[in-house]
């Protein structure tokens, strides 16, 4: 069901258009394992299935946490902008954007609630090994500080996360028949809404034009890359805590076996797996390769800090 709001905006119904009542099907997959991931050959059938759930849960939690923190930083990254104060149409566009992100965050949170129940975990126990982003964390405070100085690091991260959400569903779509219906519908609606409203973050990045010459604006993309990489490495490590819950459900046991197999890989193979072979993470670490971001970086003349390639 699609609801029209105002003259031009369309919003999707995350309550009614997702088959929440159907429940989760643990025998189905979440995210497909990338085809070029050679590590998959090291895994048993059950571990391959668990790996798909690991990737899906990491993505769901990362999206939920980022979109929650974005709303918490609304005053710094949006309401202080002169255009948001003086231009009613733009203020309304921003209001709608933040409202939609709050709805997305709540929907991904609902999916994680259902997952916790299915896996015989409390929600706190599930969250203890998934990515989290607290507005009081050092990384969040650095984003806020950079924003207060007039930087746009948070909007570069938003633009990259939105492009990632769009590509994530594009990779899932061919696997619909094997994918859990709730997770598939949730990501489909998220893809549709992100595709529609993603121009807003580029609008935020590109204004005002006179700020492009300022060093803080030119450095914002590099700041965003550094903060995201620190966040990502720290949060991925948390997944090791799944070992504390491996007796609660067979899929948690298999997830822990996957983590143990990654842990014994040589350091270089670990980096190659995480940053090269898992396309969902690669998209996060190399957003400068996305055509739309690349175009905006060139337009602004931003300093691009590239993630070093990891050769085989
Ligand atoms: Fe979103
Ligand atoms: Fe979005």
Count CA atoms within 13 Å of residue 78 on its CB side. Answer: 21
pLDDT in tens, 278-306: 877 877 788 888 899 999 999 988 888 77
**pLDDT band at residue 238 using 50, 70 and 90 as cut-offs:** very high
Q: Report CA(103)–ligand 2 centroid distance (Å).
A: 10
pLDDT given at position 5: 44
Q: Report CA(306)–ligand 1 centroid distance (Å).
A: 25
Task: Give the ligand whose atoms come closest to the C-alpha of residue 105.
Answer: 1
* Cα–Cα distance list, 191 to 186, 276, 309 (Å): 9, 23, 28
Token pair 């935020």 in the structure block, residue: 204
- Give the residue from 18, 36, 23 showing the smallest Cα distance to 104: 18
Could you tell me the sign of the dihedral formed by the alpha carbons of 98, 101, 103, 106, in that order? negative
Q: Report CA(64)–ligand 1 centroid distance (Å).
A: 8
Mean pLDDT of 268-284: 81
Q: Report CA(71)–ligand 2 centroid distance (Å).
A: 11
pLDDT in tens, 148-176: 998 999 999 999 999 999 999 999 999 99
Q: Map out the domains of the chain with their CATH numbers.
A: 55-300 (1.10.620)
Q: Report CA(222)–ligand 1 centroid distance (Å).
A: 23
CB 202 within 8 A of CB 95: no
3-state DSSP call for residue 267?
Answer: helix
Strands, E, within 6-81: which ranges?
Answer: 9-12
Q: Report CA(73)–ligand 1 centroid distance (Å).
A: 15
- Give the residue from 74, 216, 214 showing the smallest Cα distance to 153: 216
pLDDT given at position 6: 42
pLDDT at 308 over 80: no
Task: Give the ligand whose atoms come closest to the C-alpha of residue 155.
Answer: 2
Task: Give the ligand whose atoms come closest to the C-alpha of residue 200.
Answer: 2
User: Which letter does DSSP use for residue 43 in this model?
Assistant: S
Q: Report CA(312)–ligand 1 centroid distance (Å).
A: 34
Q: Report CA(197)–ligand 2 centroid distance (Å).
A: 6
Regarding beta strands 9-12 and 2-5, do their DSSP bridges make them parallel or antiparallel, or are they unpaired? Answer: antiparallel
- Give the residue from 2, 128, 1, 4 showing the smallest Cα distance to 57: 128
pLDDT given at position 283: 74
CB 181 within 8 A of CB 26: no
Q: Report CA(199)–ligand 1 centroid distance (Å).
A: 13
Flag whether the pTM goes above 0.85. Answer: yes
Distance between CA 38 and CA 158 in Å, rounded? 31
pLDDT at 272 over 90: no
Q: Report CA(148)–ligand 2 centroid distance (Å).
A: 22
> DSSP letters along 52-109, please?
HHHHHHHHHHHHHHHHHHHHHTHIIIIITSHHHHH-HHHHHHHHHHHHHHHHHHHHHH
Average predicted confidence (pLDDT) for the chain: 91
| Structure-block tokens of residue 233 | 């490495």
User: Which letter does DSSP use for residue 18 in this model?
Assistant: S
Q: What percent of the chain has a predicted confidence (pLDDT) above 90?
A: 73
Task: Give the ligand whose atoms come closest to the C-alpha of residue 102.
Answer: 1
pLDDT at 244 over 60: yes
3-state DSSP call for residue 135?
Answer: coil
Around ion ligand 2, residues with a beta carbon closer than 5 Å are: 162, 194
pLDDT given at position 207: 85
Distance between CA 149 and CA 154 in Å, rounded? 12
Q: Report CA(21)–ligand 1 centroid distance (Å).
A: 22
Q: Cβ of 23: how many Cβ atoms within 10 Å?
A: 13
Rounded CA Rg of the chain: 20
pLDDT given at position 59: 94
Distance between CA 237 and CA 240 in Å, rounded? 6
3-state DSSP call for residue 9?
Answer: strand
pLDDT at 2 over 70: no
């Amino acid at each position: 069901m699609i609801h029209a709001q105002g003259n031009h905006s369309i919003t999707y119904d995350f309550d009614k258009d997702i088959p929440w009542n159907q429940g989760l099907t643990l025998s189905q997959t979440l995210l497909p394992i990338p085809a070029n991931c050679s590590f998959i050959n090291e895994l048993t059938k059950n571990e391959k299935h668990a790996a798909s759930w690991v990737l899906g849960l990491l993505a769901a939690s990362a999206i939920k946490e980022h979109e929650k923190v974005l709303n918490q930083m609304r005053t710094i990254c949006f309401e202080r902008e002169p255009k948001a104060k003086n231009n009613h149409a733009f203020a309304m566009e921003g209001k709608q954007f933040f409202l939609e992100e709050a709805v997305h965050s709540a929907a991904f949170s609902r999916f994680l609630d259902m997952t916790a129940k299915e896996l015989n975990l409390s929600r706190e126990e599930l969250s203890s090994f998934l990515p989290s982003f607290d507005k009081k964390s050092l990384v969040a405070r650095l984003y806020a500080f950079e924003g207060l100085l007039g930087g746009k690091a948070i909007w570069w991260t938003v633009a990259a996360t939105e492009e990632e959400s769009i590509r994530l569903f594009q990779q899932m779509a061919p696997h619909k028949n094997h994918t859990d219906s709730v997770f598939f519908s949730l990501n489909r609606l998220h893809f549709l809404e992100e595709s529609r409203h993603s121009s807003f973050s580029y609008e935020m990045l590109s204004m005002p034009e006179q700020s492009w010459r300022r060093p803080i604006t030119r450095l914002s993309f590099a700041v965003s890359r550094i903060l995201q990489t620190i966040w990502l490495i720290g949060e991925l490590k948390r997944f090791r805590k799944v070992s504390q819950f491996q007796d609660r459900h067979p899929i948690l046991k298999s997830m822990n076996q996957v983590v143990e197999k990654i842990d014994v890989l040589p350091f270089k193979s670990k980096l190659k797996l995480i940053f090269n072979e898992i396309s969902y993470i690669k998209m996060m670490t190399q957003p400068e390769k996305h055509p739309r971001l690349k175009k905006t970086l060139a337009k602004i003349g931003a300093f691009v800090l590239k993630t070093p390639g990891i050769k085989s």
